[in-house]
Amino acid sequence: MDLDPDLAALRPLGGFFPLRTLRHTAGGAGPRRLPTLADGCAEGTSDTPGDPVTARVATVADRLRIAEPRVAASLAQQGLAARLWSVALGCAVLYGRVPDLDPRLLRWDVRAPVPDELWLTEVRPLPGDAATLTATVLHGHLEPLTAALRARYGVAPGLLWGNAGSALAATARELSRWARARGRTDVAARTRGLTGELFAHPLLSATGTRTGTAFRRRSCCLYYRVPGGGLCGDCCFTRPPRSTPASSPASSPRSSPGAASG
């Protein structure tokens, strides 16, 4: 099935899946001129106030009352990873095609909530295979974002790739649940096959253990350090580590027991 101009098949999935398009959001007037996802990721050390990555991390910190920039950076990245995986994998299993998510085609309102923070200026269909998903999401977005967050906030790559694996597993789980509820065995099978291929990639293969649709990551996103936060369902920890004051980052616990991932 060809991609439609509004990517309408994503909307019934809800949550992180819908992606607005120029046709759907602008009414022919054109989108607001907002930063692309390439802005702020091209140079890992750029942290000017107008940079979208810095602004997004600040927005997450403000909304969740996070005092530690490293924690806000982790959660901001995990949210974006979930959005990108949801759009790409959702389209791949429903349409058999994926939209080109080149950073120059995506607009990012860093102050807006999910799923209103992203829209696509042009729908260009690409093959819906694992190689395309890898190039589009992993290499096109998450690698440069990981480099930027590591340089600016000191977030360890193992933690960020753990976030990416967790987001992919959650996306696959939601798609599988949706497919089972509607008797769409074809969607469930495509989800299972593509997810398996994606997790075979070296950047994701060591992020956790998969059992069916369940996932247990080997790192921690640091959500337990958010006021009122706790452990996520796929966390490597079974109980929250004892938190240290935000003023003592050097003594912060690692995000993965026995591994330098956070």
Query: What are the pLDDT digits (tens) for 63-75?
Result: 999 999 999 999 9
Distance, in Å, from the CA atom of 138 to the CA atom of 141, rounded to the nearest integer, reads 6
Q: Tell me which of 33 and 80 has the higher pLDDT.
A: 80
Over the stretch 116-165, which tens digit does the pLDDT of each residue have? 999 999 999 999 999 999 999 999 999 999 999 999 999 999 999 999 99
pLDDT value at 262 more than 80: no
Q: Beta 125-127 vs 106-108: how paired, if at all?
A: unpaired
Give the residue extent of every domain in the chain: 8-238
DSSP assignment of the chain equals -PPPTT-GGGGGG-TT---EEHHHHHTTS------BTTTTTSSTT---TT-HHHHHHHHHHHHHT---HHHHHHHHHHHHHHHHHHHHHHHHHHHSEEE---TTTEEE-TTSPTTTTEEES---EEE-SHHHHIIIIIIIIIHHHHHHHHHHH---HHHHHHHHHHHHHHHHHHHHHHHHHTT-HHHHHHHHHHHHHHHTSHHHHTSEEEETTEEEESS---GGGSTT----TT-S-SSPPPP--TT-GGGPPPSBTTB---
Q: What is the pLDDT of residue 240?
A: 86
pLDDT at 14: 93
Average pLDDT, integer, range 77-85: 97
Q: Is the pLDDT of residue 170 over 80?
A: yes
Torsion of CA 249, 254, 259, 260, to 10 degrees: -20
User: Both tokens of residue 160?
Assistant: 């960020």
Does residue 258 carry a pLDDT above 60?
no
Work out the pLDDT band at 37, boundaries 50, 70, 90: confident
